Structure 1
Amino acid sequence: MTHQQIARSRRNTWLFPLLLLLSGGLVLGLSTNLAKLAGDIGLAPLALLGWSMTGAATILLIVAAARRSPPPVNKRTLTYYAISALVSVAASNFIFFSAIPHVGASFVALIITLPPLLTYVGALVLKMERFQTTRAVGVAAALAGAGVLAVSQLRMPQAEVFWILVALVGPVFLAAGNLYRTLRWPEGVSAEALAPGMVTGAAIMLLMAGFLPGHSLVVPTDRSLPFVLIVIQALLFAGQFQLLFLLQKTGGPVLLSLLGSVGAIVGVPIAIFLQNEAPPQALIPSAALIALGIALVAMSQAKATPKT
């Protein structure tokens, strides 16, 4: 290959994953704020999550059928769908959606930036990633930003400590999901085929959770806004998880884990300026560290030598 061809190949190798990262982060930031709005109009977190996930699964299954790429059904893939759905979708999103009314959309949007370090450490331990100084500094910076935010929130006089701590469990599930999906990716199966299977599994779990004591899937029928929010959230989920699998395949688990960082850059301003949330404590230093982390990891991705 000529020098120009190598340079072009490297540029294409990192540019497409970076575009997927930015698009997925935009969708994630919007989704977080919809959960806040749903709480304000009396739509329970499980109802929003369960019905919108069902809608997203329907959309993805229709798209997969149109592409003649339905999710394969066998023992290996059913296990993959079930574990991915529980860890990456149902459990983590239920935690976040339940915590948002108590700690705010901007706080949740920012703590979703925590998975990078957990994912990176796990990837190193499992030998899925080689140590790179630039990338390590990047994920450490993003983690430091989220850490500063969490500590400042816990020190607030009226802090809901229980919900802050519960919300911090969500990133652990996300990091575990990032690693599991990469490590156990069924051989020869496309991202377009896996996404519908995982989202369908999550929808089934969330609908079943509606029968547990203290939970409900009831949607208020006195106005149309709850139904509109469910439809919009379903479309966002369908796009988010399709982008997630494409980014997982092209960028790897660590770049994927930065979705939360990009989502925070989108979600926090929306929560503050459009939903009139009070800005989180230490917003500026934490956001600056998160932005630095994204830049460093993107830089390390750009410098990586593409596979040939």
Structure 2
Amino acid sequence: MSAQSTVSRGKKSRLLPVLLLFAGGGLLGVSTNLAKLAVGIGMTPLAFLTWSLAGAALLLLTGAALRGSLPPLNNRSIKYYAVAALVGVAGPNFIFFEAIPHVGASFVALMIALPPLLTYAGALAMGMEGFQWARALGVVAALGGAGVLAASRQIASDADLFWTVLVLLGPALLAVGNIYRTLKWPAGVSAHALATGMLFVAVFMLMLFSMLPGYSLAVPMDRSLPVVLTLAQAFVFAAQFQVLFLLQKTGGPVLLSLLGSVGAVVAVPVAIYLQNEAPPAGLLPGAGLIALGVALIAGSRAKLAARSPRGRQ
């Protein structure tokens, strides 16, 4: 193999995680706005989340069957699906979808930018990441941007303290999921198979939760729009979680945790200009800090990959 082709492959391998980051973040931003649309036409957040995840799981299962890589069913993999589903899918998404009618899609999207600091701190503590000043400044900048937005909203007269605080629990769960999926990734199992198994367990958890008083999985069937939105969200979820596991494998937990920051770049303008939401207070300084954080972390990762032995092959 020529030196030129080897360098070309090295550049592509370093670029792939960044491309996956922006693809996954874009899908996350679309997902957040679809959730608001669904609630606006009379669907409950739990029903929309559950049925769209069920559709995504079936789509991924079909793809896994065609590839011959069905999710393994053994004690280790089932435990992996269960923990990953609880902290990475069912728990945080239920919180976010329930909060959207109270605090808005743009605010929820921006709060999903919080996991980087928590993920980076956990990865450092477990020896999964080495300390780098650029990366540390990046996660602090992203956290600072999210903090500006949270504080600005709480100062606003229409702020709902309970939902503002509850939304902050979602990023903590996502950070735990980011680290857990990397540490406990079953050897020899593909990203597609793991995403499929995780989604099926998440749907099962949400169906159990729907049995509690006050919750329902009923879908309005007097018009076609609820079904159309659910199918659209199913395709978005299927692509989003496939990208999530690929990014987890190629970029690691810290780069993965920036999905929320990138998603906010998509979700906030859509919520403001297409769904007529009022711009969150502190939008410009908050979004600017988040963008700076993404740039610092992505840039530090690219430099590290270029200096590594694999990056120079």
Q: TM-score range by the shorter chain?
A: over 0.9
Partner of 1:215: 215
CA distance in 1 between partners of 2:309 and 2:185 (Å): 19
| Pair 1:54-2:54 in alignment | yes
| CA deviation after TM superposition for structure 1 residue 38, in Å | 1.1
| Pair 1:108-2:108 in alignment | yes
Q: Give the TM-score normalised by the residue count of structure 2.
A: 0.96
1:186-201 equivalences under 5 Å are 186-201=186-201
- Letter in structure 2 aligned against 1:281: A
| CA deviation after TM superposition for structure 1 residue 11, in Å | 2.0
| Pair 1:244-2:244 in alignment | yes
Partner of 1:228: 228
Structure 2: which 5+ residue stretches go unaligned? none
CA distance in 2 between partners of 1:150 and 1:2 (Å): 52
Partner of 2:285: 285
Partner of 2:174: 174
Structure 1: which 5+ residue stretches go unaligned? none
Partner of 2:78: 78
- Letter in structure 1 aligned against 2:235: L
| Pair 1:119-2:104 in alignment | no
CA distance in 1 between partners of 2:149 and 2:46 (Å): 27
| CA deviation after TM superposition for structure 1 residue 14, in Å | 2.1
- Can you list the C-alpha shifts for 1:199-225, whole angstroms capped at 9, x where unaligned? 111011111211111110011111111
Relative to structure 1, is the Cα distance of residues 307 and 171 closer, same or farther in structure 2, using a 3 angstrom cutoff?
Answer: farther
Q: Give the TM-score normalised by the residue count of structure 1.
A: 0.97
Secondary structure in 1 matching 2:157 = coil
Relative to structure 1, is the Cα distance of residues 173 and 191 closer, same or farther in structure 2, using a 3 angstrom cutoff?
Answer: same
- Can you list the C-alpha shifts for 1:262-303, whole angstroms capped at 9, x where unaligned? 100000000000000000000000000011111111101111
Relative to structure 1, is the Cα distance of residues 131 and 10 closer, same or farther in structure 2, using a 3 angstrom cutoff?
Answer: farther
| CA deviation after TM superposition for structure 1 residue 7, in Å | 4.8
Partner of 1:133: 133
| Pair 1:37-2:37 in alignment | yes
CA distance in 2 between partners of 1:4 and 1:164 (Å): 52
CA distance in 2 between partners of 1:286 and 1:52 (Å): 31
Secondary structure in 1 matching 2:168 = helix
Q: After TM superposition, where is structure 1 displaced by more than 4 Å over at least 4 residues in a row?
A: 1-7
Partner of 1:99: 99
- Among the aligned pairs, what percent are the same residue? 62
Partner of 2:64: 64
Relative to structure 1, is the Cα distance of residues 281 and 107 closer, same or farther in structure 2, using a 3 angstrom cutoff?
Answer: same
- Letter in structure 1 aligned against 2:155: R
CA distance in 2 between partners of 1:34 and 1:101 (Å): 12
**Contact persistence 1:10–1:303 (CA under 8 A):** no
**Contact persistence 1:10–1:304 (CA under 8 A):** no
Secondary structure in 1 matching 2:72 = coil
Partner of 2:268: 268
- Can you list the C-alpha shifts for 1:113-148, whole angstroms capped at 9, x where unaligned? 000000000000010101111111111111100000
| CA deviation after TM superposition for structure 1 residue 2, in Å | 8.9
RMSD after superposition: 1.4
Relative to structure 1, is the Cα distance of residues 170 and 307 closer, same or farther in structure 2, using a 3 angstrom cutoff?
Answer: farther
| Pair 1:259-2:259 in alignment | yes
| CA deviation after TM superposition for structure 1 residue 8, in Å | 3.6
**Contact persistence 1:107–1:280 (CA under 8 A):** yes
**Contact persistence 1:113–1:258 (CA under 8 A):** yes
- Can you list the C-alpha shifts for 1:227-278, whole angstroms capped at 9, x where unaligned? 1110001111100000000000000000000000110000000000000000
Relative to structure 1, is the Cα distance of residues 294 and 3 closer, same or farther in structure 2, using a 3 angstrom cutoff?
Answer: farther
| CA deviation after TM superposition for structure 1 residue 92, in Å | 0.4
CA distance in 2 between partners of 1:6 and 1:140 (Å): 36
**Contact persistence 1:11–1:302 (CA under 8 A):** no
Bigger mean CA deviation after superposition, 264-273 or 153-162: 153-162
Secondary structure in 2 matching 1:304 = helix
Partner of 1:18: 18
1:146-161 equivalences under 5 Å are 146-161=146-161
